[in-house]
Amino acid sequence: MSHFLLMSVYAALVSFFFALLWRRTWGEQAKLFLRIFLAMVGGGLALAWLMYFFPSGPPAPLP
């Protein structure tokens, strides 16, 4: 499984739980679900994009 798929499933489950917990009507629950879901997935993608510019692993040795 890809990391993006797992992140999306996790975001959907958490968003669904909090939408049911915090809102009473279906319309409000759907709006909150979308807001939380998009914030989690978008935030994860933005953080991954920012981390792309930092090298992974130990620094290269100086000649």
Domain count of the chain?
1
Q: Would 56 be classed as within a structural domain?
A: no
Note the pLDDT tens digit of each residue in 20-32.
999 999 999 999 9
- pTM tops 0.85: no
SS3 readout for 15-58 = HHHHHHHHCCCHHHHHHHHHHHHHHHHHHHHHHHHHHCCCCCCC
Residue 26 located in a structural domain: yes
DSSP at 60: P
* Residue 15, domain extent: 3-51
Q: What is the mean pLDDT of residues 32-54?
A: 96
Helix (H, G, I), strand (E, B) or coil at 59: coil
Whether residue 21 is contained in a domain is answered as yes
Let me know if residue 32 belongs to a domain: yes
Contact indicator for 26, 16 with CB cutoff of 8 Å: no
CA distances (Å), origin 21, targets 6, 11, 45, 56, 63: 23, 15, 26, 39, 59
Residue range 30-56: average pLDDT? 95
